[in-house]
Amino acid sequence: MTTRMETRHSKPISTLKMIRKNFTYFKKSFFVNIGFESIYKVLTSFIFLPFITMVLNYFMHLRGMKMMANNQILTFARSIPGILTILILGILSFFFIFIEYAGLIVISQETYFDKKISAKASFFTAMKSIRGIIKIGSIPIIIYVLFIIPFVASSIGLSSSLLPKIEIPAFIMDVVYKTPKWIGLYAIVFFILFYFLIRWIFSLHVVVLEGKDFSSALKRSSQLVKGSFLKIWTTMFLWNLSIFAIVAVVAILVGIGMALLNEVLKGNVKLFVTILSFVTTMGGILVMIATLFISPLTIMLITQLYYRQVKMKDGVEPIPMIITATPSKINWQNLFNRHKKKLIAVSVLGIMIFTWLSYVYFITYEFDANNNLVTVTAHRGDAVNAPDNTMSSLLGAIANKADYSELDVQQTKDGMVVLTHDTNLKNNTGVNKNIWELTFDEVEKLDVGSHFSPKFDGEKIPTLDSIMKAANKKIKLNIEIKLNGHDQKLEERVVKLIEDNNFVDQCVVTSLDYNALQKVK
C-alpha cells in the first residue's frame, strides 16, 4: 500500500549507513523482536514439533515401520502414507515459517516508521496475512519458503527457526567435491537459486505489506529489484561480512582465553573441565540468544531496502500498513516495559544458573575421567596423517591412543572383504575401476599411498582380516558395511571374520543400510 506524503528521506542512504542504521532500528525493537521470537519458539517447540512427530509416527505405523533408515526414506516417500506425510508436514511447516517471517516484517515496518507495536499485535497481524496466500496460485511461495530460502538464504543471514537451512548429506557432498563436473553442477544450481532469492527478496514483504497474492508479489519484487540487483547483493554481502567479523572476533577471543587458561591450570583436569563446562554453557546461551537476533536483523535490513526501492521505482513515499489487533484486558506490554530489565535479568540468570549447575552435576557426579563413558573414534583411522582406510592409518590411530578406529569395508570381485570408502578406486589409486570389478590379486597391486604423500608410496589396500589381527587388544574397530549392489553375502563374511578373530567384544558394526544391520544381528 503506497501513497504520496511528506518525504522522510530526501535521497537513498548509502549501504554502510543503512547497515549502521539497521542496528539502531533493531535496538528500538529489541524487546518486541525477542518477545515475538520467544512466543514463536514456544509454539514451535511445544505444539508444532510434537504434532509433526505424532503425524510422522502415525503414518510410519500404517506402513508397519518403527524406525526409518536412510535407504528406507525414498521407499516411504513413494508410498501413500509417505505422500500424505509430506503434504501435511510441508503445508504446516510452510504456514509456521510464513508466520515467523510475516511477524518480523510487521515489526520491522513499524520500527522503520517510528511506531510502537507489541509482540502480540505483530503475531495476530501475521496470522491475518495468511488469508492472502490460501489459494492454488500460491504454490510457488511454498517452494520459495521451504526450499529456496533454506537452501541458499543462510548465505545472506536469512533463516527460519523451524527450518534454518537445508544441508545436502555429507556423504553426497563428499562425492560432489571429488568430481569437478559435480562441483560445477552444484555451483550452477546454487547460483541459479541465489539469483531467484535476490530477485524475489521482497516477495514476502509485498504479500504482507501490500496485501498482494504471491504470484503478483513475485512480479512486484522482480520489478523492484530490476536495475539494482548488484547493489542489493552488495548490501546483503557486506551485512553478512559484518556479522561474520563479530562472530570471528568473539570466537578468537574465547579461544585465546581458553588456551591461556589451559596453560595456567595444566594438570588440574577437573577444574579445567568445570570451567570449560561453564564457558560452553555461556556459549550455548549466547548462540541461542543470537538465533533470536539474526533473522530479525536481516528482515529489518531487507525492509529498509524494500522501502528504498519502492520510493525509487514508484516515485512516491510509502506509508505503513495499518496494524490491528484485539485489545487485551491486561496491558501486558506496559507491564513488561515497566519491569523488563528485571524480568530479562532474572530469566537469563535463572537459565544460566540452571544450565551451569546441570553441567557441573554431570561432570562432578556422572563423569569420571577414568571410565569409558567418553570414547574417541578415529574416522577412517588417522586419516589426517596417513591415507584413510589403510594399515598406516590404523597404526596412527593406535599411536594416538584412540579408542576406536572407524573403517569402511566392501568386497572384491572374488569376495574378499577389504577396506575402501569409495566404490570407484580412481581417487585413491588412479585406476578407474570399481572395487567389485577387480580380484583381490589385482587390488593388491594397487598403490593407495602415493596420492597422499610420497612417504606412503606402495601402501596397499588392506583386508579386514589383516586389520583385525593388527588391532587385536590394541584398539577397537567400528566396522561400517558399505553395500554397492555387487555384494556376495558381505554381512555374513564380516560376521565370520569377527568370530574367527575373536573380535566380538572389540568392535561394533554399522551401516547406512538397515537390512544389513538386521542380517548382522
Per residue in 174-229, pLDDT (tens digit) is 767 777 888 888 889 888 888 888 998 999 899 888 888 878 888 999 999 999 99
**pTM higher than the cut 0.75:** no
Judge whether 407 and 479 are in contact, CB under 8 Å. yes
Upper half-sphere CA count for residue 218 (Cβ side, 13 Å): 14
Query: 5 lies in a domain?
Result: no
Contacts with 498 (C-beta within 8 Å, 6 or more apart), sequence order: 468, 479, 504, 507, 509
Please confirm, yes or no, whether 339 is among the known catalytic residues: no
Which residue of the set 205, 421, 451, 486 is catalytic? 421
- Rounded to whole angstroms, the Cα distance separating 177 from 130 reads 41
> Tens of pLDDT along the chain (521 residues)?
443 334 444 455 677 888 888 888 888 888 888 888 888 888 887 888 888 888 888 888 787 777 776 667 778 888 888 888 888 888 888 888 888 889 999 999 999 998 888 888 888 888 877 776 666 556 677 777 777 777 666 655 566 665 555 566 666 667 677 778 888 888 898 888 888 889 989 998 998 888 888 788 889 999 999 999 999 999 988 888 888 888 888 888 877 877 787 777 776 667 777 777 777 777 777 776 776 778 888 999 999 999 999 988 888 777 776 665 544 444 555 656 666 666 666 666 666 665 555 555 555 445 554 555 678 899 999 988 999 999 999 999 999 999 999 999 999 999 999 999 988 898 888 899 999 999 999 999 999 999 899 999 999 999 999 999 999 999 999 999 998 888 888 999 999 999 999 999 999 999 888 888 888 88
Q: Of the residues 328, 360, 392, which one is the last residue of a structural domain? A: 360
Does a structural domain hold residue 276?
yes
Do 430 and 320 fall within a single domain?
no
365 falls within a domain: no
Indicate whether 8 belongs to any domain.
no
Q: Which three cell numbers stand for residue 460?
A: 596397499
Among this protein's residues, is 379 annotated catalytic? yes
Exactly one of 61, 205, 339, 379 is catalytic; which is it? 379
Do 120 and 165 belong together in one domain? yes
- The domain tally of the chain equals 2
Residue whose C-alpha is closest to residue 222's, from 121, 106, 140:
140
| Residue 337 included in any domain | yes
Question: Where in the sequence is the domain holding 450, given as residue range(s)?
Answer: 377-520
The answer on 389 and 335 residing in a single domain is no
Q: Which residues pair with 508 in a beta bridge?
A: 478
The span from the CA of 427 to the CA of 452, in Å, is 10
DSSP category for residue 451: T
Are 406 and 507 in the same domain? yes
**In this predicted model, what pLDDT tens digit does every residue of 328-376 receive, in sequence order?**
444 555 656 666 666 666 666 666 665 555 555 555 445 554 555 678 8
Same domain, 445 and 326: no
Same-domain pairing of 413 and 508? yes
